[in-house]
Amino acid sequence: MTNQAANQGIGQAVRRKEDFRFLTGQGHYTDDINRPGQLYAAFLRSPHAFAKIKSIDTTAASKKPGVVAIYTGKDVAADKVGGLICGWTVKDKKGEPHKAPRHDIIAVEYVRHVGDQVAVVIADTVAHAKDAVEAIQVDYEVLKPVVDVREAVKPGAPQVHPDVPGNLCYDWEFGDKAATEKAFASAAHITKLELVNNRLSPNPMEPRSAIGEYDPGTDTTTVYTTSQNPHVLRLILCAFVFGLPEHKVRVIAPDVGGGFGSKIFNYPEETVCVWAARKLKKPIKWTSDRTEAFLTDAHGRDHVTHAELALDKDGKFLGLRVDTMANMGAYLSTFASAVPTYLYALLLAGQYTTPAIYAEVKAIFTNTTPVDAYRGAGRPEATYVVERLVEAAAREMNIDPAEIRRRNFIPPTAFPYQTPVACVYDSGNYAKALDEACRLADYANFPKRKAEAARKGKLRGIGLCAYIEACGLAPSSVVGSLGAGVGLWESAQIRFNATGTVFVYTGAHSHGQGHETTFAQIVSDKLGVPLENIEVVHGDTAQVPMGMGTYGSRSLAVGGSAIVRAADKIIEKGKKIAAHLMEASVDDVTYDKGVFSIKGTDKQVPMAQVAFTAYVPHNYPPDLEPGLEASAFYDPSNFTFPAGVHIAEVEIDSDTGVTTIVNWVAVDDFGKVINPMIVEGQVHGGIAQGIGQALLEGVVYDQESGQLLTASFLDYCMPRADNLPSYKIGMIETPCPHNPLGVKGCGEAGAIAAPAALMNAITDALGTEKIDMPATPLKVWQVIQSHNFAAAAE
Amino acid sequence: MTISVTMTVNGQSVTREVEPRTLLVQFLREHLGLTGTHIGCDTSQCGACVVHVDGRSVKSCTILAAQAQGANVTTIEGLAANGQLHPMQEAFREHHALQCGFCTPGMIMSAIDLVQRNPNPSEETVRHELEGNLCRCTGYHNIVKAVMAGAQAMRG
C-alpha cells in the first residue's frame, strides 16, 4: 500500500471526495438537468381539504399561450394507470391486512387533502404552465374535513374514504398483553403520560423534481428524479403503476439535496411526468416549489400516545404499555404502515431490561398530507415515549434520572440480548456512554448551576435521553414475514480498470451522507488503492446492480458490508493471478494492504500489477477468466443497534418564555467508525432536526377548514443558525458482531435522541410534564404563568 | 413580450432577451446555465440563491433580472480562480461544512459577504448573520466553524 492510501482508510477523517463539485456550483441536481425539447408540468392542486369534484373546465386554460396539454384524473384513469402503492402490509389484531385505499396520481372523484392533484398542465415554459393552471375552472362540492386523529375516530366523524369505516387503517398490537397487565398489577409505582409527537415537514433544502423522458426508438423510459432509492422506485413504477418491463425503464437519481426519508417514496408528480412523457413523446419536467413541498412531501411523526411505566419500589422497570394513534394522512404512503408499528413498538424496550411490554397502535386516515418515514421513522417516537416516561418516573420517585437508568440498563455482559418486543440487541455498553455523557456535561454540578440561574431569575433544567436505534432492517426473510414487500439486502460491485483505478458501484444512494468518500475509504483500506483512484457510482439503475437505496441508517452496515464482500472476492481472484506471476502455489500467497506475497520469501506483486495482468493476460493462469471485477449482495443476519446518551441543558427566561440551550452533549456508540468527521456531521444534523422538533417545528392544520397553516418557511419554523448551539460530541465503540465492518449506522441518532433530551430539560426547568412539542416561547410562557413559576424563582 | 437585459456575470458581459417577470435567479439558471445558484423556497427565506450583486450579497430570487441591468454579478461558479478554491470554499471543505451541498453555494456567498463587512466576526455574529441561510443537513455546527476559519484565512 502506498503511504497515501494508508492515511485514507478506515478510521481516518478523510476530507470528502464529493465536495469540490458542490463547493464550486458544479453539482448536478435534477432541476439542473434539461433535456432537448422538454416541456414543463404544473399542477392544479385542491384548495380544499375534502371535496367532491363536480366538474373541471379546461377550455379557457387550454387557450393560454404555450399550453400543449391539460390532463385530469379521468385522462389518467382512461389509460388504466395503477394507483400508488404501500409497500409494507401490516396485519391488524385479527390478522386482516391494513386498509390501503386507492391513491390516484391525479384525483378522480374526490380530493382528500389541500394540495391533492386535480389536473396537470403541460406547456413550453414553467411560467406558461403555471399561468394556465390559474385558468382552470373547477366546481367543487366542499365537504367537512377531519385533520386530528382524536376527532377522526369519533362516531360521526367525516369519512375520508368510503371503503375505510371509521377512518381506521388498522388496529394493531404487539407484545405480551397478559404479562404486561400482571406487571402493572404488582407495581409499587406507575408513571402515566399523555404525549403528542408533533407532525413535521421534512424540508430537505432541494425541493423534489422529476423529468420523464421516452425514447420511442428503443421503447425506453428514463426518469430523472430526486430519489433515495432509484431501484425501488423503478420496481414500483414498473410492476405496480404502469406494468412496464423493468429493462425498459431507467431511473436516475443524480445529486440529491437531502432526503431525510421524504425522497424514499413514490409520489404522484414524478409518476405523472413519466405518464405524460410517454403520451406526448416529449421530456416532461416538474420541480416543486416550497409551498408544494409543504403540501405534498410526506410528513413525519404525528402520534397521540397514552403511555404507562410500572416500577417496583426501587425504581426497577416492571412493565410498559403504550396506546398510540398514528395519523396516516389522506392516503397510505409507500412505507407509511411500517413506521408506527414495526419501526416503533419493537424499540419500546429502549436500553432497559423492562420484562413486559405491550403496545396498541391505531393508524387513522385524515384529510391531511400523507405521513411516512422522516429521519428516525418510528424510533424517535418510541424513544420519546420511553425516555419521557423514565425521566418522569425518576422525578416522581425522587431518584436521580441518571441513577434510575443505571438501575435498569441491559448490562454489557448480557449481549446478544433478547428484548420482550422481538429484537435481539447486538452489542452495547450503555452505562459507559451515560458515564461519559455525565462527565462531558458536568452533570454532578448541575444543582449549583441551577441555583446560580435562579439567582438571575432564570429557570435552568437538565434532561437526559438514553436512546436505542435499529438500523439496517434485516434479514429479508424476517422483514418479509412482517409484511415488507421488498428485501432489505444491498448490492456492490467493484470493477478494476486495467491501469489499476477502480469503479465501485453501490445500490445505496448518497444525498449528503458522503458515501463517495466513506465507501472509497473501505475499498482503499481493503484493496490498497489511493482514494483519488476510486470512483463510487450510485443512483443510476442502468449502471448499478439492483439495490435497495438509502434510508434507516442502513447504507454502511448493509451496503458497506456488500462492498467488503466484493473486495474479498477481488482478493481471492487476485491471489490466483499473483500466484501465477510469482510461479507459486495459490495456497502460498498471502495478501495484505494491496500487496500479494509468498510466505517466507521476498516475492511481491502489487494489486495494480494484478489488475493490469487480468486485462492484458499474456502471462496468465490458463484456467482463469480474464478481468478483475466482483459483485456481492449482502443480506445481514440482524439489525444493528446503535445507542447513546444525549444530555441537554437549558435556561428559560420566565418573562419571555424563551428557551436557550446552554449545553448539549452527545455520546454515541455507532460501532466501528469509518470516517469520524462524517459521522460527527451526521450527529450534528440529526440533533438539529431533533431540536427543531422539540423547540421550533410543527405542521399546523386549521381544525375546521383543514387548511395547512404552515405552508412556507415564514410560517413553519425551521432551525436557523442562531437557534442552535454548538454540540459536544463523544463516542464509545462496541463493534457490531454480525457484519464484517463492525459498524452500526449513525444517520438518525441525533433526531431520535434530541427531542426527549430537550423536553426532559424543559420539563425539569418548568417543574411540570404538561407541555407538548414544540415548546415555543408562547407555550412555555403560558405554562409559567399558569404555575406562577416566575414568583417561585425569586 | 421580452426585454433585453445586459449585465456582467463572473467577469463576462452577457445579454439576453427575457420576459420582464424573469427573476435574477431564473436568468442565471435558465438563461445562462449557471445552475450552481439554487432555488430552495418561494418566500426569500432559505438563501440557497444568494449571489453577489456589485459586491453585496443578494437573494437572487428577490430581484428581477432587469433590476440587475448593468450590474456586476458574481455567482458560486465565479469564486474559484484557476481551479484554486476561494479561502471560504476551502474552509467549508476542511471543516465538513456541507453534506448534500444544496445550500452550500448560497451559504458560501453569504459568508464571504459577512466577512467582507466584518473581517473578525464572533461566533454569535456568524450565527446571527447566517440566519437568512437555511441548512437542513449540518446543524450549522461545522458551518459556523468553517466561516470562522474562512474569515481568518481571508484576513491572511
* Strand bridging mode A490-496 / A502-506: antiparallel
CA distance A301 to A378: 7
Spell out the alpha helix ranges (H) of A441-560. 446-455, 476-481, 515-527
Decide if B100 and A290 are in contact by the 8 Å CB cutoff: no
Q: CATH number of the domain that A271 lies in? A: 3.90.1170.50
DSSP A496-518: E-TTS-EEEEESS--SSS-HHHH
Whether residues A647 and A624 share a domain: the answer is no
User: Which candidate in A17, A22, A208, A226 is best for mutational testing of the B interface (most B CBs within 10 A)?
Assistant: A22
Same domain, A679 and A603: no
A contacts of B46 (beta carbons < 8 Å): 205, 290, 713
Single-letter residue type at A430? Y
Please state, in angstroms and as integers, the Cα–Cα distance from residue A233 to each residue in A242, A278, A445, A514, A780, following that order: 12, 17, 52, 22, 43
B139 vs A contacts (CB less than 8 Å): 684-689, 719, 724, 727, 750
Q: Is residue B72 located within the same domain as residue B20?
A: yes
Q: Quick one: pLDDT at residue B48?
A: 98
Report the C-alpha gap between A465 and A491 in whole angstroms.
Answer: 35
A77-123 pLDDT per residue, tens: 999 999 999 999 999 999 999 999 999 999 999 999 999 999 999 99
Residues of B in contact with A227 (CB under 8 A): none
SS3 A420: coil
Compute the average pLDDT of residues A522-535.
97
pLDDT at A5: 59
* Residue A349 included in any domain: yes
Q: Which DSSP letter does residue A96 get?
A: P
Chain B hits for A205, CB-CB cut-off 8 Å, are: 38, 40, 46, 48, 100, 102-103, 134-137
Best probe of the B interface among A38, A205, A687, by most B CBs < 10 A, is: A205
Say whether residue B40 is in contact with chain A using an 8 A CB cutoff. Answer: yes
- Give the residue from B21, B43, B76 where a domain finishes: B76
Give the pLDDT confidence of A134-187 residue by residue, as tens digits: 999 999 999 999 999 999 999 999 999 999 999 999 999 999 999 999 999 999
Tell me what the mean pLDDT of segment A478-482 comes to.
89
**CATH for B133:** 1.10.150.120
Secondary element (H or E) of residue B151: helix B141-155
CA dist., res. A432 & res. A733, Å (int): 10
In a shared domain, residues A381 and A530? no
- The pLDDT of residue A788 is 67
Name the pLDDT band for A6 (thresholds 50, 70, 90): low
| Same domain, residue pair A582 and A600 | yes
Q: Is A38 contained in some domain?
A: yes
> A682 to chain B: which residues are within 8 Å by CB?
99
For residue B80, give the chain A residue with the closest CA. Answer: A24
| Alpha-carbon span B32 to B9, nearest angstrom | 9
| B150 touches A: beta carbon within 8 Å | no
- State mean pLDDT over A657-681: 97
Bridge partners for A494 per DSSP = A504, A630
Residues B45 and B72 in one domain: yes
Q: Which of A19, A33, A260, A710 to mutate to test the interface with B (most CBs of B within 10 A)?
A: A19
- Check whether residue A321 and residue A382 sit in a common domain: yes
A482 lies in some domain:
no
pLDDT in tens, A365-410: 999 999 999 999 999 999 999 999 999 999 999 999 999 999 999 9
| A291 neighbourhood in chain B, CB within 8 Å | 42
Q: Do B46 and A513 touch (CB under 8 A)?
A: no
Q: How far is B70 from chain A (nearest CA, A)?
A: 24
Residue B156 banded pLDDT, cuts 50, 70, 90: confident
> Taking CB atoms and an 8 Å limit, are A15 and B93 in contact across chains?
yes
pLDDT in tens, B66-110: 999 999 999 999 999 888 999 999 999 999 999 999 999 999 999
Look at residue B123 and tell me if it is in a domain.
Answer: yes
Cell triple for residue A642?
Answer: 446503535
Closest CA to B5 of B54, B47, B64, B75: B64
In whole angstroms, give the CA distance from residue A703 to residue A680.
Answer: 40
Q: For A112-123, what is each residue's pLDDT tens digit?
A: 999 999 999 999
Number of domains comprising chain B = 2
User: What distances in angstroms separate CA A33 from CA A29, A717, B21, one per listed residue?
Assistant: 7, 31, 23
Q: Do A721 and B80 touch (CB under 8 A)?
A: no
User: Quick check: B94 and A15 CB within 8 A?
Assistant: yes
A11-62 tens-digit pLDDT: 999 999 999 999 999 999 999 999 999 999 999 999 999 999 999 999 999 9
Q: Which domain holds residue A366?
A: 303-473+638-793
Sign, CA torsion A710/A712/A713/A718: positive
**In angstroms, rounded to a whole number, what is the distance separating the alpha carbons of residues A372 and A264?**
9
Q: Which cell numbers hold the place of A715?
A: 410560517
Q: Which of B122, B137, B138, B143 to mutate to test the interface with A (most CBs of A within 10 A)?
A: B137
Q: What are phi and psi of A111, to 5 degrees?
A: -105, 140
Give mean pLDDT, residues A537-561: 95
Q: How far apart are CA A682 and CA A555, in angstroms?
A: 13
Looking at residue B81, what is its pLDDT? 84
The H or E element that residue A221 is part of is: strand A220-225
Give the closest residue to A167 by CA, choosing from A47, A326, A369: A326
For the four alpha carbons of A132, A133, A134 and A136, in that order, the dihedral sign comes to positive
Q: Is the CB of residue A150 less than 8 Å from the CB of residue A354?
A: no
Q: How far is A175 from chain B (nearest CA, A)?
A: 36
Are B41 and A15 inside 8 Å of each other by CB? no
What's the average model confidence in pLDDT over A744-768? Answer: 97
Q: How many CB pairs under 8 A join A and B?
A: 177
- B92 within a domain of the structure (yes/no): yes
Residue A147 is placed in which grid cell? 385533520
Distance of CA B128 to the CA centre of its chain: 17
Instruction: Measure CB to CB from residue A257 to each of B35, B102, B124 and give the nearest one.
Output: B102
> How many Cβ atoms are within 10 Å of A590's Cβ, its own excluded?
13
- The answer to whether residues B57 and B94 belong to one domain is no
Q: Sort A307 into a burial class: Cβ within 10 Å, 0-12 / 13-18 / 19+.
A: buried
C-alpha cell at A650: 437549558
The 8-class DSSP code of residue A480 comes to H
Confirm whether B93 is domain-assigned.
yes
Q: Is residue A154 part of a domain?
A: no
- Measure CB to CB from residue A720 to each of B34, B93, B131 and give the nearest one: B131
- Taking only residues 171 to 230 of chain A, the set having a beta carbon closer than 8 angstroms to any beta carbon of chain B reads 203-207
Last residue of a domain, one of A601, A634, A667: A634
Question: For residue B82, is it within any domain?
Answer: no
Inter-chain residue contact A726 with B85, CB threshold 8 Å: no
SS3 of residue A250 by DSSP:
strand
Q: Which residues of A touch B79 (CB under 8 A)?
A: 24
The C-alpha atoms of residue A531 and residue A363 are separated, in whole angstroms, by: 47
List, as ranges, residues 110-149 from A with C-beta within 8 Å of B: 127
B81 occurs within a structural domain: no
Total domain count, chain A: 3
pLDDT at B12 over 50: yes
Spell out which residues of chain A touch residue B48, defining contact as CB-CB under 8 Å.
205
Both B7 and B70 in a single domain? yes
d(CA A35, CA A281): 12
Burial of A770 (0-12, 13-18, 19+ CB in 10 A): exposed
Same domain, A450 and A557: no
Query: Could you tell me if B128 lies within 8 Å of chain A, comparing CB atoms?
Result: yes
Scan residues 48-107 of B and list those with Cβ closer than 8 Å to A: 48, 75-77, 79-80, 85, 89, 92-94, 96, 98-105
Locate A199 and state its grid cell: 407532525
Residue contact A724–B140, C-beta within 8 A: yes
B-chain residues near A677 (CB < 8 A):
96
> Is residue A8 very low, low, confident or very high in pLDDT (cuts 50, 70, 90)?
confident
CB of A246 closer than 8 Å to CB of A223: no
**B99 falls within a domain:** yes
CB contact under 8 A, A721 and B21: no
CB contact under 8 A, B137 and A512: yes
Domain boundary among B76, B104, B128: B76
CA distance A491 to A261: 20
Residues B62 and B92 in one domain: no
Q: Is the pLDDT of residue A587 over 70?
A: yes
Does residue A294 contact residue A711 with C-beta atoms inside 8 Å?
yes
Judged against a pLDDT cut of 60, whether residue A790 lies above it is answered with: no
Rounded distance, CA A43 to CA B59, Å? Answer: 26
Beta strands in A330-457 (DSSP E): 356-365, 417-418, 424-425
For residues B71 and B8, state if they share a domain: yes
Query: How high is the pLDDT of residue A7?
Result: 75
Q: Tell me, what's the pLDDT at B45?
A: 97
Are A523 and A424 in the same domain?
A: no
Residue A41 sits at φ, ψ, to 5 deg, of -105, 140
* Enclosing H/E stretch for A632: strand A629-634
A467: Cα within 13 Å, side-chain hemisphere:
38
Q: What is the pLDDT at residue A687?
A: 98
Judge whether A438 and A647 are in contact, CB under 8 Å. Answer: yes
pLDDT of residue A792 exceeding 70, the answer is no
Same domain flag for A586 and A649: no
Decide: helix, strand or coil at residue A146: coil
Q: What is the CATH number of the domain that holds B33?
A: 3.10.20.30
Q: Are A273 and A285 in contact (CB under 8 A)?
A: yes
Query: With a CB-CB cutoff of 8 Å, which residues 621-680 of chain A face chain B?
Result: 677-678, 680
C-alpha to C-alpha distance for A407 and A574, rounded to whole angstroms: 53
pLDDT given for residue A1 in this prediction: 47
Q: Is B155 an interface residue toward A (CB < 8 Å)?
A: no
**Contact criterion met (CB < 8 Å) for A32 and B35:** yes
Contact between residue B129 and residue B110 where contact means Cβ atoms under 8 Å apart: yes
| Span A484-496, average pLDDT | 94
Determine the Cα–Cα distance for residues B30 and B17; give it in Å rounded to an integer.
Answer: 12
Q: Quick one: pLDDT band at residue A210, thresholds 50, 70, 90?
A: very high
For a pLDDT cut of 70, what percent of chain A falls above it? 98
Rounded to a whole number of angstroms, the distance from the CA of B38 to the nearest CA of chain A is 8
Instruction: Give the C-alpha separation, A503 to A515, whole Å.
Output: 13
Across the interface, of A15, A20, A713, the residue whose CB is closest to B41 is A713
- Is the same domain home to A588 and A670? no
- Give yes or no for a contact between A644 and A667, defined as CB atoms under 8 angstroms apart: yes
On whether any CB of chain B is under 8 Å from the CB of A290, the answer is yes
Q: Is the pLDDT of residue A490 over 60?
A: yes
pLDDT at residue B83 in the model: 81
B140 and A204: CB-CB below 8 Å? no
Flag whether residue B17 sits within 8 Å of chain A, measured between CB atoms: no
Structural domain for B147, as ranges: 87-155
Spatial neighbors of A371 by CB under 8 A, at least 6 apart, are: A199, A298, A299, A300, A301, A302, A326, A327, A328, A329, A333, A336, A339
What strands, in cross-sheet order, belong to the sheet with B56-59?
A: B12-18, B3-9, B72-74, B50-53, B56-59
Q: What angle do CA A248, A250, A254 make, to 5 degrees?
A: 175
Quote the pLDDT of residue A791.
55
Buried b (16+ CB within 10 A) or exposed e, A288-306: bbbbbbbbbbbbbbbbbbe
- Are A722 and B137 a contacting pair at CB < 8 A? no
Whether residue A180 is contained in a domain is answered as no
Flag whether B101 is in a domain. yes
Residues of A in contact with B137 (CB under 8 A): 205, 258, 512, 681, 685
Any idea which residue has 396506546 for its cell?
A: A323
Chain B residues with CB-CB distance to A27 below 8 A: 36, 101-102
Q: Is there a contact between A22 and B94 if contact means CB atoms under 8 Å apart?
A: no
Q: Which of B41, B98, B143 would you mutate first to test chain A, the one with the most A CBs within 10 A?
A: B41
Nearest to A470 by CA among A508, A423, A414, A417: A423
Q: Burial level of A655, CB count in 10 A (0-12/13-18/19+)?
A: exposed
